[in-house]
Each structure stands twice: as structure tokens, then as C-alpha cells.
Chains A and B, each alone.
Chain A
């Protein structure tokens, strides 16, 4: 069978499977709520209270507090839901990509452009 544990890992890539979906449930559920503006405003006004209400683990809270996307993913965050959290801070997927790859946003954009060259 093709459980991810039997597949060769893909560097820099987390397969969001059942185990990750269980691990990240509270964090992702909070981010899913950010589809609604009232919940985004609530988060901006009372970040700790909202994280408590959704029952985030300490690892998840720390990742959110430090705005560290790789840590959020390690704590079970799924990028589609995390994008809604990033949206609260006006961050684009280039901003998020630059952070995860330890590049400047300009360098990250240049890397994307260069992918069209070869």
C-alpha cells in the first residue's frame, strides 16, 4: 500500500495526510474561521484569547506568536488555511515563500521569474 511512510521523502515537502490533519486540527480550524471578517478582527484584537478558544497546542501557539510558517507546518498547519492567517497581515504567497526559504522577497520573486528561463 502507499502509506507515505513507505514512499521516499520529498525534500522540503510535508505531505498533509491524516496524521498531520489530526495534529494540526485546532490550528487549521482557527485559520478556517478567518474566512469571516468578524473572526479576523477578533484575532487582531485578542490573539491569545482566540488561540485558547480553539484549543491550540503550545507548539502551535508559539509558531503563531513568532509568525513562523515552517513551525506552523511542523505543528500540523496546512498551507491553504495558513494563507488565511497570512492574509490578516497582508502577506502574499511570495512573502510566505521568502520566509520559508530564508530569502528576501525580491530574491524569491527573481527565483520564480528564473524558472521560466530554461
Chain B
């Protein structure tokens, strides 16, 4: 049977993609951020997961306001990246695993989550930046040997956004779906985005370190206490785009075993954001 071996969360700021493309790993601004990632890569190298379920938000590459699904899941053999408007060269495509994608979709809809399935899905920085941070050498291998991915996209663009509680429950349902897949696969669940930041309005530049650190602590073993926050609470405490924390909660919901934090880092600022990293083991 398939099993979820762990969960990882990371911020996904576009500037990180730019810094990676320019190899700014030793730059004084970037070094404290990038130096936090090798322990996660070491763990991935040791555990060798087959599939990464990446829970992220699209920022206006694949979806526009004409059609804005609350929850959408990729069901394609591969996913393309594309120019998001600032001219960065698109990354090589990411490998999919349609059998497991459809199993997720079937299981989630059976559990009353109304999912939009996508046989074509452009993945933006919310998906690609974490992939580049965790698998920097991905494209040195032929496609068939690369980590397989399933994009799970949650609307954080247009309110109403799904509540923290709903996202946590979505994660729980993803966990049950993976556990019922008959193939022997090791799966890692990635929640991207956050932590506190606000790009728009007179409150632009808002960062809330105390709230971020509280969330990073509680999500390990008291995650359900965080699901009582409303979206309005998250916007107030973590900034308009800090509501992306719902993606972390969806990741956490998928871990139904004994959860232990193996590594974490918090750094201010990367771009306008409090940048968080967390590696959680999900032991049987």
C-alpha cells in the first residue's frame, strides 16, 4: 500500500526562483535562507519518496477570475511551467502520476470534496519554487526517474477562501486516499506558501513574527487548535497573503501517524515575507 512518510512546508516567494536561477546561494541576503534546506534534501535523499503531493496556490498563471475552483487537482502525465509575466525562463516540465491523481480525485469526491480535475495545468512559482528547493538536481535525471508530482491547488486569490478547518479536513481525506492506494509507494506531502506577508494596500510589508512562530510550533502536534481560526483571523494576524497558511494546514491534515518535527527554520525577511521551513516525519 502507499504511505505518507512525511510532510514538508516552505514559503514559495517568486524572488527565490530568481535567486536560484542566479545561483545567489552565498549572497549575504540569501545565505541564511538557503542554508536551511540541505537537511531536508538529505532526508529526501535517504527516504527516496516516489511521489510528492504539492498543495499550493496559483497566482494567476493557470486560473483567472473567469473560472476559479476552490480545490483543483492535476491529473496529467506532466505539468508545464510558463512565464508568469516577469520573463523568467520556464523550468523543464514536472512528471505526473495520473493513476494516483485519479485515485485521489475519486476518493475525495466520494468523501464529499467537490474537486476540479485538470488534465492540463500550468504550475506557477507556488509549485515550482518548493520543487527547486527540495530537488535542485531533478532535471539531471531522465523524466522517468524524477520524482512524480500531483499538484493540488487551493484558491487563495478570490474570497471566499476555504476555511482553515476545511483545508485541514481536505488534508485528512488526502491522507486516507493515499493509504487506500494499492501500490507500494512512498509519498511526501508538501504545503507551500506563507508565512505572514501582505503585498497590497497601506498595510503592505506587514509581517507578524510572533504569530508565525506560534503557528510553526502548534502545527506539529496541536494543529487542530489552529483550525479554529477563520480566514479573516488569518488575514488580520498574518497579512492578506498570509492566509496561504491554509496550505500548511492541508499538508498537516494528511499526516495521520506519529508526527515529529525533524527540522525547522524561520527567517525574516525574504522579499516581503516571513519565510518558514518545516520537515515533519509521519511514522506509522
**A residues touching B (Cβ–Cβ < 8 Å)?**
2, 4, 7, 10-18, 21, 25, 28-29, 31-32, 34-37, 40, 69-70, 73, 78-84, 87-88, 92-94, 96-97, 100-101, 108, 111-113, 115-116, 118
**B residues touching A (Cβ–Cβ < 8 Å)?**
15, 59-61, 64-65, 82-87, 157-160, 198-207, 209-210, 230, 232, 235-236, 240-241, 267-269, 271-272, 274
Given the known inter-chain contacts A15-B235, A35-B60, A35-B83, please indicate yes or no for A112 contacting B198, CB distance below 8 A.
no
| Measured CA separation A73–B204 after assembly (Å) | 12
- Residues of A within 8 Å of B64, CB to CB, are 28-29, 32
The contact of B235 among A10, A18, A70, A93, by CB within 8 Å, is A10
Q: Is the interface of B mostly helix, strand, loop or mixed?
A: loop
| Measured CA separation A93–B268 after assembly (Å) | 15
CB-CB nearest in chain B for A100: B204
Given the known inter-chain contacts A13-B198, A73-B200, A97-B199, please indicate yes or no for A37 contacting B205, CB distance below 8 A.
no
Q: Is the interface of A mostly helix, strand, loop or mixed?
A: helix
- Once the chains bind, are B86 and A111 in contact (CB under 8 Å)? no
- Residues of A within 8 Å of B210, CB to CB, are 118
CB-CB nearest in chain A for B59: A80
CB-CB nearest in chain B for A19: B159
Given the known inter-chain contacts A80-B157, A116-B209, please indicate yes or no for A13 contacting B269, CB distance below 8 A.
no
20 residue pairs bridging A and B, Cβ less than 8 Å apart: A7-B232, A11-B203, A15-B159, A15-B235, A15-B240, A16-B158, A28-B65, A32-B64, A35-B85, A40-B85, A73-B200, A83-B85, A84-B85, A87-B85, A88-B85, A94-B271, A112-B268, A116-B207, A116-B267, A116-B268
List the 8 closest A-B pairs by CB distance, nearest first.
Answer: A12-B203, A116-B268, A84-B85, A12-B202, A87-B86, A115-B207, A79-B200, A97-B204
The contact of B269 among A80, A100, A113, A118, by CB within 8 Å, is A113
- Once the chains bind, are A13 and B240 in contact (CB under 8 Å)? yes
